[in-house]
């Protein structure tokens, strides 16, 4: 007989609790305690598990109390007064039990995502020429306003301007508690349907942009030897910035030899600042490449899951004539496009998180 979602959840949390007990035993071993590398690694793993295990142990105590009171209330051999007391407590315990169980469901499916407080967001104009570049800027401004509403810190790492104020591409670093949990669903193809500023006959055009969302964990376990693993090219920057930009070789281009990943940075006038930003972005992209390969075996199972980050996937349409924003992954239509473009993404993100939670619980 197949286990229910709740039973699978509790079995998984039992595994975590047992694992933490094992780690605590290992940490108390004098031989390990004398090895800083091993002891620090164990302490960090125990710390990461605390977010799940502590609430689970509290839930298990409430679950035991609920089961005990149910047994007493149903046992005719017990003292009537004791049975009445047990019956009176059942309602409160059941409510507490159910609330804590829902909280654990939320924790177990968001634990890894919630731990990531820094992300790289790349927005690029797709098909559609100038209108696509203008749409890319609209998406950047939408995320900027959303971050301001949420209190997230947004930093522009690099950008490439287009005509009429559009953007060919822009690379952002966004930091804040729960930022990946909130914006991790934005990866994919975004489509806009509207009358472009350049359209003289009032016809609706369809243009596109792509968004990539890459996690930047606090501790990226990627070792890059910048002298041996990466080729560096220095050149003069182009675009706005005065005479200094064109006279000084400040633009940096890095190529990671093993993966072929290339990063170019020209946003700063300083070569050192561009190099630092380029290395930071390179580390994140190499990390993302490693994680993608590591999770390849799970790709078929989770390919339809929210936030897959497949850039060829059309995830959302912004239809201006109909004042409609449609998220194709969950079939959600919102007729408040102006609010969405002003950064009011809460309704979209809440719906995506709810759907994602249900999918992940089924996949336990």
What percent of the chain is modeled with pLDDT above 70? Answer: 88
Question: What does the alpha-carbon distance between residue 145 and residue 360 come to, in Å, rounded to a whole number?
Answer: 29
Q: At what angle do helices 5-27 and 346-362 cross, to 10 degrees?
A: 80
pTM: 0.69
8 A C-beta contact, residue 136 and residue 123: yes
CATH of domain 117-217+324-362: 3.30.70.1660
The CATH code of the domain at 230-294 is 3.30.160.20
Q: What is the pLDDT of residues 177-206, one digit of tens each?
A: 989 989 999 999 999 999 987 777 888 999
Convert 231-249 to b/e letters by CB count within 10 Å (16 or more is b). eeeeeebeeeeeeebeeee
List pLDDT tens digits, range 153-185.
999 988 999 988 999 999 999 999 989 989 999
| 5-113 CATH, one of 1.25.40, 1.10.260, 1.20.58, 2.60.220 | 1.20.58
- 14-44 tens-digit pLDDT: 988 999 999 888 888 888 878 887 888 888 8
- Cα–Cα distance, 125 to 340 (Å, whole number): 19
pLDDT digits (tens, 9 = 90+) for 108-133: 877 777 778 899 899 999 988 899 99
Residue 11 has pLDDT above 60, yes or no: yes
Residue 252 β-bridge partners:
234, 265
DSSP state of 249: -
Sequence spans of domains, the chain: 5-113, 117-217+324-362, 230-294
Q: In what order do the strands lie in the sheet with 262-265?
A: 230-235, 251-256, 262-265
Nearest to 69 by CA among 92, 41, 44: 92
pLDDT at residue 136 greater than cutoff 60: yes
**Which is more confident, 236 or 342?**
342
- The tens digit of pLDDT for each residue in 289-332 reads 877 776 654 344 334 333 343 334 689 999 999 999 999 999 99
Q: What is the pLDDT of residue 321?
A: 95
Distance CA 350, CA 1 (A): 33
Residue 327's H or E segment, with its range, is strand 324-327
Question: Is 339 exposed, middle or buried (CB count within 10 Å of its CB: 0-12, 13-18, 19+)?
Answer: middle
* Whole-angstrom Cα Rg for the chain: 26
DSSP 106: H
Give per-residue pLDDT as tens, 271-294: 888 999 999 889 888 888 877 776
- pLDDT at position 132, please? 93
Query: What pLDDT does residue 299 have?
Result: 41
Strand order in the sheet with 205-215: 153-161, 167-175, 118-125, 205-215, 188-194, 314-319, 324-327, 332-334
pLDDT at 35: 80
d(CA 156, CA 159): 7
pLDDT digit string (tens) for 221-259?
677 889 899 999 988 765 444 444 445 678 899 999 988
Q: Which residues contact 333 (CB under 8 A, 6 or more apart)?
A: 324, 325, 326
d(CA 264, CA 318): 30
**Residue 322 CB burial class (10 angstroms; 0-12, 13-18, ≥19):** middle
């Amino acid at each position: 007989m197949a286990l229910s979602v709740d039973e699978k959840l509790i079995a998984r949390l039992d595994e975590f609790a047992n694992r933490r007990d094992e780690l605590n035993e290992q940490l108390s071993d004098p031989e390990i305690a004398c090895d800083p590398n091993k002891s620090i690694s164990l302490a960090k793993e125990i710390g990461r598990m605390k977010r799940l295990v502590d609430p689970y142990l509290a839930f298990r105590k409430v679950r035991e109390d609920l089961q005990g009171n149910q047994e007493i209330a149903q046992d005719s051999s017990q003292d009537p007064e004791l049975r009445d007391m047990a019956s009176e407590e059942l309602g409160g315990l059941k409510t507490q039990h159910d609330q804590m169980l829902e909280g654990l469901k939320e924790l177990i499916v968001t634990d890894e995502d919630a731990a990531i407080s820094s992300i790289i967001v790349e927005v690029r104009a797709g098909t559609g020429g100038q209108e696509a570049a203008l749409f890319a800027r609209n998406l950047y401004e939408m995320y900027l306003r959303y971050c301001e509403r949420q209190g997230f810190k947004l930093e522009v790492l690099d950008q490439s301007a287009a005509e009429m104020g559009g953007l060919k591409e822009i690379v952002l670093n966004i930091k804040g508690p729960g930022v990946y949990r909130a914006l991790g669903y934005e990866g994919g193809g975004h489509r806009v349907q509207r009358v472009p500023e350049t359209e003289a006959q009032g016809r609706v055009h369809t243009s596109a942009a792509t968004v990539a969302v890459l996690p930047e964990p606090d501790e990226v376990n990627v070792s890059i030897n910048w002298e041996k693993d990466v080729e560096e090219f220095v050149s003069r920057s182009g675009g706005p910035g005065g005479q200094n930009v064109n006279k000084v070789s400040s633009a940096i281009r890095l190529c990671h030899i093993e993966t072929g990943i290339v990063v170019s940075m020209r946003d700063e006038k300083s070569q050192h600042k561009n190099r630092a930003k380029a290395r930071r972005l390179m580390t994140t992209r190499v990390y993302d490449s490693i994680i993608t390969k590591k999770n390849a075996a799970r790709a078929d199972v989770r390919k339809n899951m929210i936030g897959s980050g497949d850039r060829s996937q059309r995830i959302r349409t912004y239809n201006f004539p109909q004042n409609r924003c449609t998220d194709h992954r969950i079939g959600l239509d919102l007729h408040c496009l102006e609010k969405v473009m002003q950064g009011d993404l809460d309704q979209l993100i809440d719906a995506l998180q709810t759907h994602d939670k249900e999918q992940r619980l089924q996949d336990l």
